[in-house]
């Protein structure tokens, strides 16, 4: 076998006392798709940042085609043929596609080489089937297109090894297929690819070989991911067996949330059109659908952020008179928003403050108009303990927590007040298996206690596992509702495209 | 009333607009380059004053006006580098450092001027730049003598606008400047040095501010007084916003401001003497505020303006 395209030997990198990477070996051959698996915080991103020159390793060597190279910054990495697609895109939204491609590329006789850039872009389009309108501003592109631009950008600079950091986290399921097709075509043409993910089904479908990291060390290698079970790989990632949570049979009680003919207007996304649904006590209702079919409007109406144009809503038998988050919360609604960082909590404030924010004016946390810092702190400390939220303490900046811990904090904040209805959007997006399992268990525990839960999500397998009934949204309407027994991925998939309606 | 208007709209009026616009154009372009790279330079007012003083002093001591211009630009570049040192290299607050640079530069200008020239009852003056008519072009009726019978620095300003647009939009360096002002991380991951690009842009901006200062003391007034800049730097900051961070629009904004300023000067001098002259002085500023309120509401600043860039920060 020829020399590997890239080889990393004994890479060690510490941040203070934390060893993010310890003696990690890894190699990628031309034409190979290598999966890099691990829980959040296992050191995947750190390792790739070392390879891309963002961090200097404390020890270890990087070899490109058998020759040792020193990579001190991204320019060195690019020169060595390493391109990276970061989880958060590195694009300037107001510049055009072409300008984003040409940044850092030397010009021709002092000018930006537009013609050369255009022909190179066309060539990449032909070779790998990746194309974009060069004159569009990046802000006009969808997330999937922006990701394509990032890939094109790496190829444009002559990358022979492409690192993709959790590329599917931001994509809709239909976009994932397109991405995989492009990656396979690139590998077939001799490029090496490192695919970072913690989604086992994706890794099994796409990669040729896997390296699993745990606590910064290589926990195992999988030579045949397609024929290795997800359970075996999950065990490597977590270090222990993962038992799916048990959903006990339950008899739903009376309806705790009812929507009757709700329509909306004046919202950024798809409006709701005549949506009626109900959730009973002790029941989980899943809302499936391709992103952008009105899920956001639904979540906003139910959380009180968007007053509907027509229709009525009742919570625990009481008709909602005034749509405001505080009003609905008083009626017994808990909510976990889709975007933890913006509508979930205040990233620059201490975690404790974010954890009491929705109830900051209540008796529990303030007296006579003054905050009660001791009560706030005590509440946060108790929740941190109860939910095993890994953080230095309640006064740490909320934005410093990992996604899984933030989600636990949000969950703790709502569940502490024993809501009658809970609305959650994308509850486990971006979370690793362990954290996701924890969240699922909490939902099922709430269900057992008689809470009615609405889960809006795109991950059909998750919805199937949790839900007692699943409703499908299509273009702002409910395309139908299936009972847990009727629902299958195939059937839901059809309804999501509007092909099948069901009463 | 018609006599008033006749007096206003004539060759001299057009020439005055061009003359007033020139230092504003230099300063606005300078501030624009700096802000396009993501660095607000509130040092502009002080930098202009210090450069006005430095250029004047160099010219008056050496007898060479062009040496004065060069010194002014060098001092401007140096002050730009100082601002960049604080805001880019050290990542300190751009507002605070900018005001600091203005206070420091102004103080230094007063101090050095007193040290060199002492306290004189009549401020020393120099034989400044003379208008240089451009053959043929200056013979065009009305427009010719107004635009093409001007100081060389005015012609330089007229050339500087398309040149700035070319550099910003057509050269790799200009693209880097725009990129570090929009998303420095993107520039960094593309192998562009954010720090170097920002330093260069702020230094270039400082040199242009220096040119603006030099024009004031070596072409417009031919003397240095402590009030020689009198808010032109602050106006330039507004004009950058008004011009939406674009060289052409910024130059247009400078011309528009100059038009109102020239107008109020004429109105002061004309038969409207019963109105206190301070009312006229306010006009261009009121105009700027009103124009900004209407025209710049959807102007979007470079995304990374005011944001320092640190690499290993996650």
Domains of chain A by start residue, with CATH? 6-238 (3.40.50.300), 244-332+419-503 (3.40.50.300), 350-414 (no CATH)
Query: Is the per-residue pLDDT at A394 higher than 90?
Result: no
In a domain, B53, yes or no: yes
**Facing B192 at nearest CB: one of A52, A94, A104:** A104
Contacts of B191 in chain A (CB under 8 A): 73-75, 78-79, 104
Contacts of B300 in chain A (CB under 8 A): 94
Structure tokens of A459?
């991950």
B9: CB partners within 8 A, 6+ apart:
none
Q: Which of B190, B192, B246 to mutate to test the interface with A (most CBs of A within 10 A)?
A: B190
Residues of B with CB under 8 A from a CB of A: 170-172, 174-176, 178-179, 182-183, 185-192, 300, 303, 311-312
Count of domains forming chain B:
1
Mean pLDDT of A23-42: 91
- pLDDT at position B2: 58
- pLDDT at position B8: 56
Burial class (CB in 10 A: 0-12, 13-18, 19+), A314: middle
Structure tokens of A296?
């956001």
Length of chain B: 314
Mean pLDDT of B275-300: 84
Q: Give the pLDDT band of residue A500 (cuts 50, 70, 90).
A: low
Contact A278, A255 (CB under 8 A): yes
Residues of A with CB under 8 A from a CB of B: 52, 54-55, 73-75, 78-79, 84, 86, 89-95, 99-100, 102-107, 110-112, 153, 157
Percent of chain A, pLDDT > 70? 98
Percent of chain B, pLDDT > 90? 70
Q: Coil, strand, or helix at residue A459?
A: coil
CA B196 from centroid of its chain's CA atoms: 23
d(C-alpha A174, C-alpha A144), whole Å: 10
- pLDDT at position A354: 87
pLDDT by residue (tens digit) across B91-133?
A: 999 999 999 999 999 999 999 999 999 888 888 999 999 999 9
Contacts of B170 in chain A (CB under 8 A): 111-112
- pLDDT at position A174: 73
A246: CB partners within 8 A, 6+ apart:
A444
- pLDDT at position A53: 87
Burial A343-370 (b: 16+ CB within 10 A, else e): bbbebeebbbbbbbbbbeeeeebbeeee
Q: Give the pLDDT band of residue A265 (cuts 50, 70, 90).
A: confident
Kindly report the nearest CA distance between residue A41 and chain B, in angstroms.
13
Kindly report the nearest CA distance between residue B200 and chain A, in angstroms.
15
Mean pLDDT of A242-259: 84
Backbone angles phi, psi at A446, to 5 degrees: -65, -40
Kindly report the nearest CA distance between residue A155 and chain B, in angstroms.
12
Cross-chain Cβ contact A92/B178 below 8 Å = yes
Mean pLDDT of A460-475: 91
Contact A171, A179 (CB under 8 A): yes
Mean pLDDT of A175-198: 92
In a domain, B313, yes or no: no
Percent of chain A, pLDDT > 90? 48
Contacts of A78 in chain B (CB under 8 A): 190-191
Structure tokens of A288?
């499936």
- pLDDT at position A33: 96
- Distance from the first to the final alpha carbon of chain B: 66
DSSP-derived secondary structure for B228-263: SSTTHHHHHHHHHHHTTT-HHHHHHHHHHHHHHHHH
In a domain, B307, yes or no: no
pLDDT by residue (tens digit) across B166-225?
A: 999 999 999 999 999 999 999 988 889 999 999 999 999 999 999 999 999 999 999 999
Task: Find the residue in B nearest to A55 (Cα).
Answer: B312
Structure tokens of B104?
């420091």
CATH number at residue B160: 1.10.3470.10
Contact A444, A245 (CB under 8 A): yes
Mean pLDDT of A273-281: 94
In a domain, B219, yes or no: yes
In a domain, B128, yes or no: no
In a domain, B2, yes or no: no
Query: Is the per-residue pLDDT at A424 higher than 50?
Result: yes
Cross-chain Cβ contact B186/A92 below 8 Å = yes
pTM of the entire structure? 0.81
In a domain, B232, yes or no: yes
CA B148 from centroid of its chain's CA atoms: 21
Q: How many CB pairs under 8 A join A and B?
A: 76
**Facing A112 at nearest CB: one of B175, B182, B303:** B175
Choose among B250, B17, B251, B248: nearest CA to B143. B17
- pLDDT at position B216: 97
A63: CB partners within 8 A, 6+ apart:
A4, A6, A7, A8, A9, A69
d(C-alpha B73, C-alpha B71), whole Å: 5
Q: Give the pLDDT band of residue B292 (cuts 50, 70, 90).
A: confident
Burial class (CB in 10 A: 0-12, 13-18, 19+), A198: buried
Contacts of A100 in chain B (CB under 8 A): 179, 186
d(C-alpha B89, C-alpha B14), whole Å: 44
Contact A261, A314 (CB under 8 A): no
Cross-chain Cβ contact B175/A103 below 8 Å = yes
Q: Coil, strand, or helix at residue A431?
A: coil
Q: Give the pLDDT band of residue B4 (cuts 50, 70, 90).
A: low
Kindly report the nearest CA distance between residue B179 and chain A, in angstroms.
6
Q: Within a 13 Å sphere around the CA of A310, how many CA atoms are in the beta-carbon half?
A: 6
Structure tokens of A367?
């007296």
Contacts of B175 in chain A (CB under 8 A): 95, 99, 102-103, 112
- pLDDT at position A503: 45
Kindly report the nearest CA distance between residue A323 and chain B, in angstroms.
31
Structure tokens of A101?
């491609």
pLDDT by residue (tens digit) across B14-68?
A: 999 999 999 999 999 999 999 999 999 999 999 999 999 999 999 999 999 999 9
Cross-chain Cβ contact B192/A110 below 8 Å = no
In a domain, B210, yes or no: yes
Backbone angles phi, psi at B279, to 5 degrees: -60, -40
Contact B44, B102 (CB under 8 A): yes
Cross-chain Cβ contact A90/B185 below 8 Å = yes
Q: For chain B, give the longest Cα–Cα distance.
A: 68
pLDDT by residue (tens digit) across A426-446?
A: 888 878 788 888 899 999 999
- pLDDT at position A267: 67
Cross-chain Cβ contact B171/A153 below 8 Å = no
Report which listed range, A248-257, A283-292, B38-47, is most confident.
B38-47
Kindly report the nearest CA distance between residue A399 and chain B, in angstroms.
11
- pLDDT at position B67: 97
Contacts of B38 in chain A (CB under 8 A): none
Hey, CA dihedral for A16, A18, A22, A26, is it positive or negative?
negative
- pLDDT at position A215: 87
d(C-alpha B245, C-alpha B301), whole Å: 7
Average confidence score pLDDT of chain A = 88
Kindly report the nearest CA distance between residue A235 and chain B, in angstroms.
29
Contact A162, A151 (CB under 8 A): yes
- pLDDT at position B271: 66
Cross-chain Cβ contact B186/A91 below 8 Å = yes
**Facing B170 at nearest CB: one of A79, A94, A111:** A111
Backbone angles phi, psi at A135, to 5 degrees: -100, 0
Choose among A56, A23, A407, A403: nearest CA to A215. A23
- pLDDT at position B314: 40
Q: Which domain holds residue B263?
A: 7-120+146-295
d(C-alpha B246, C-alpha A71), whole Å: 37
Contacts of B37 in chain A (CB under 8 A): none
d(C-alpha A330, C-alpha A318), whole Å: 11
Q: What is the SS3 assignment for B122-167?
A: CCCECCCCCCEECCCHHHCCCHHHHHCEECHHHHHHHHHHHHHHHH
- pLDDT at position A443: 94
Mean pLDDT of B246-269: 91
Backbone angles phi, psi at A396, to 5 degrees: -70, 150
Looking at this predicted complex, what is its ipTM? 0.85
d(C-alpha A120, C-alpha A101), whole Å: 10
Q: Give the pLDDT band of residue A364 (cuts 50, 70, 90).
A: confident
Task: Find the residue in A nearest to B310 (Cα).
Answer: A54
d(C-alpha A55, C-alpha B38), whole Å: 24
pLDDT by residue (tens digit) across A189-231?
A: 999 999 998 778 889 999 999 999 998 999 999 999 888 888 8
Q: Starting from the edge strand earliest in sequence, which strands make up the sheet with A217-222, in order?
A: A82-85, A161-165, A192-197, A33-38, A209-214, A217-222
d(C-alpha B287, C-alpha A203), whole Å: 62
Hey, CA dihedral for A21, A27, A30, A35, is it positive or negative?
negative
d(C-alpha B260, C-alpha B255), whole Å: 9
Choose among A104, A79, A56, A99: nearest CA to B197. A104
């Amino acid at each position: 076998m020829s020399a590997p395209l890239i080889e990393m030997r004994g890479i060690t990198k510490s941040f203070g006392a934390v060893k993010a990477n310890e003696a990690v070996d890894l190699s990628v051959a031309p034409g190979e798709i290598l999966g890099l698996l691990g829980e959040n915080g296992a050191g995947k991103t750190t390792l790739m940042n070392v390879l891309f020159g963002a961090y200097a390793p404390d020890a270890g060597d990087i070899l490109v085609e058998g020759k040792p190279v020193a990579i001190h910054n991204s320019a060195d990495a690019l020169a060595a043929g390493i391109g990276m697609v970061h989880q958060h895109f590195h694009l300037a939204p107001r510049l055009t596609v072409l300008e984003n491609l040409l940044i850092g590329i030397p010009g021709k006789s002092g000018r930006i080489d537009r013609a050369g850039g255009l022909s190179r872009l066309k060539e990449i389009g032909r070779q790998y089937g990746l194309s974009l309108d060069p004159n569009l501003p990046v802000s006009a592109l969808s997330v999937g297109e922006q990701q394509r631009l990032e890939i094109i950008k790496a190829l444009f600079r002559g990358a022979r090894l492409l690192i993709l950091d959790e590329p599917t986290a931001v994509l809709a399921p239909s976009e994932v297929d397109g991405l995989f097709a492009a990656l396979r075509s690139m590998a077939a043409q001799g490029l090496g690819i490192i695919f970072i993910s913690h989604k086992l089904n994706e890794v099994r479908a796409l990669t040729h070989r896997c390296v699993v990291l745990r606590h910064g060390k290589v926990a195992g290698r999988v030579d045949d991911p397609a024929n290795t079970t997800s359970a075996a790989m999950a065990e490597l990632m977590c270090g222990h067996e993962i038992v799916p949570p048990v959903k006990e049979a339950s008899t739903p009680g009376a309806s705790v949330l009812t929507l009757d003919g709700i329509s909306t207007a004046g919202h950024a996304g798809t409006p709701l059109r005549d949506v009626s649904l109900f959730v009973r006590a002790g029941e989980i209702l899943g809302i499936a659908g391709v992103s952008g079919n009105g899920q956001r409007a639904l979540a906003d109406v139910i959380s009180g952020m968007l007053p509907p144009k027509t229709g009525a809503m009742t919570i625990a038998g009481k008709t909602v008179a005034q749509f405001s988050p505080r009003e609905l919360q008083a009626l017994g609604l808990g909510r976990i928003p889709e975007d933890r960082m913006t509508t979930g909590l205040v990233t620059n404030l201490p975690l404790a403050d974010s954890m009491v924010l929705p109830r900051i004016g209540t008796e529990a946390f303030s007296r006579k108009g003054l905050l009660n810092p001791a009560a706030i702190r005590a509440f946060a400390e108790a929740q941190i303990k109860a939910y095993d939220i890994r953080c230095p303490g309640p006064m740490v900046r909320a934005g410093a927590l990992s996604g899984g811990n933030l989600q636990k904090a949000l969950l703790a904040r709502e569940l502490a007040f024993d809501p009658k209805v809970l609305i959650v959007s994308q509850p486990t997006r971006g979370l690793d298996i362990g954290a996701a399992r924890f969240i699922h268990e909490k939902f099922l525990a709430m269900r057992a206690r008689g809470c009615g839960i609405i889960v809006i999500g795109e991950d059909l397998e998750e919805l199937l596992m949790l839900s007692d009934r699943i409703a499908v949204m299509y273009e702002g309407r409910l395309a139908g509702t299936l009972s847990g027994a009727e629902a299958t991925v195939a059937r839901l998939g059809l309804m999501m495209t509007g092909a099948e309606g069901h009463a | 009333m018609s006599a008033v208007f006749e007096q206003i709209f004539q060759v001299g009026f057009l020439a005055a607009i061009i003359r007033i616009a020139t230092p504003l154009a230099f300063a606005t372009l300078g501030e624009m380059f700096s802000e396009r790279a993501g660095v607000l330079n509130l040092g502009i007012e002080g930098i202009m004053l210090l450069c006005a003083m430095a250029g004047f002093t160099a010219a008056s001591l050496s007898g060479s006006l062009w040496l004065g211009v060069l010194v002014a630009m060098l001092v401007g570049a140096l002050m730009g580098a100082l601002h960049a040192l604080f805001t880019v290299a050290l990542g300190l607050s751009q507002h605070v450092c900018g005001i600091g640079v203005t206070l420091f530069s102004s103080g230094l200008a007063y101090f050095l001027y007193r040290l060199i020239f002492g306290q004189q009852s009549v401020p020393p003056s120099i034989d400044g730049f003379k208008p240089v008519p451009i053959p043929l072009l200056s013979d065009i009726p009305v427009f010719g003598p107004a635009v093409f019978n001007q100081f060389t620095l005015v012609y330089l300003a007229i050339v500087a606008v398309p040149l700035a647009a070319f550099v910003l939009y057509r050269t790799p360096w200009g693209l880097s400047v725009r990129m570090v002002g929009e998303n420095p991380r993107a520039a960094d991951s593309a192998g562009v040095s954010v720090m170097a690009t920002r330093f260069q842009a702020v230094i270039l901006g400082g040199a242009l501010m220096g040119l603006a200062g030099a024009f004031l003391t070596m072409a417009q007034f031919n003397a240095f007084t402590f009030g020689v800049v009198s808010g032109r730097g602050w106006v330039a900051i507004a004009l950058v916003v008004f011009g939406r961070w674009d060289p052409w629009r910024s130059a247009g904004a400078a011309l528009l401001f100059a038009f109102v300023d020239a107008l109020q000067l004429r109105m002061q001098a004309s038969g409207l003497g019963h109105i206190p002259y301070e009312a006229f002085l306010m006009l261009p500023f009121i105009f700027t505020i009103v124009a900004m309120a209407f025209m710049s509401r959807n102007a979007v600043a470079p995304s990374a303006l005011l944001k320092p860039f640190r690499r290993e920060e996650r």
